[in-house]
Each structure stands twice: as C-alpha cells, then as structure tokens.
Amino acid sequence: MWFIAWLRRITLLKRRIFNQIDEIGDMAQAIRIFRENGLARQQLERERDANWAIRELLARMTQRLQGCETFADVINVAELLRRTSPRAFAGRLYILDREPWQMRCVAQWAVTEGQR
C-alpha cells in the first residue's frame, strides 16, 4: 500500500516538473517569436524609409524635369540625379525623339553590366 502511495506521489511530482518545463519552453518560444517579430518589423521600417527616400527623390526630379525648356536642361537634371541618387537606385532617363518617333535613352546611372 505504501508503495502505491509513494508511486502516485512520484507521478504527481513528475507531472508538476514536466508542466514547469513545458511552461519554460512555451515562454522561451514566445520570447523567440517576439524577438523575430521585432527584427522583422525593424527590417520593414528600414525598407519603408528607403522606399520613401527614393519616392521623394523621384518626385523632386520629375518636378525639375517638367520645368525643363531645353534638351540641355534635361541633361543637367539627369546629371544631378546621377550624382544624388543612391547606388542601389539604378535608372535610365528616356525622352521621346519626335523625328523618328522613338524613345531614346539620354542618361543612365548606377546601371551594372547585366542591366544594360
């Protein structure tokens, strides 16, 4: 009889210990998920800020290009864009050449060999 009572007591203690271990594991997993979510949020914020900066740069350049009166003005604005754009922001400027009615690339910046 005393042996059965002793086994029951041991079994109860084991359950409590395993429940505590499960709770610790659950807490560790919750902390890991919280950390991963925080890192993902920071990455998204960095991407959002970079996209906003590029969008602002494009808006300013578009406004300047719309104010151009001569082809030389367009080239000057394109040169300014080339100097001020971030390296990761590659691009080309095309104009409509009305004589053959074709788009012509008049400037490009941060374009690698594979993109040409």
pLDDT tens track for 18-72: 666 677 778 888 899 999 999 999 999 999 998 898 888 888 888 988 888 888 8
**Which stretches of the chain are assigned E, i.e. beta strand?**
91-97, 102-109
55-114 residue pLDDT tens: 888 888 889 888 888 888 888 887 777 777 666 677 777 878 777 888 888 777 776 666
For every residue of 21-50, which 3-state class applies, written as one string?
Answer: HHHHHHHHHHHHHHHHHHHHHHHHHHHHHH
Question: Angle at the Cα of 42 (from 37 to 43), degrees rounded to 5?
Answer: 95
Inter-axis angle of helices 2-66 and 71-84, nearest 10: 150
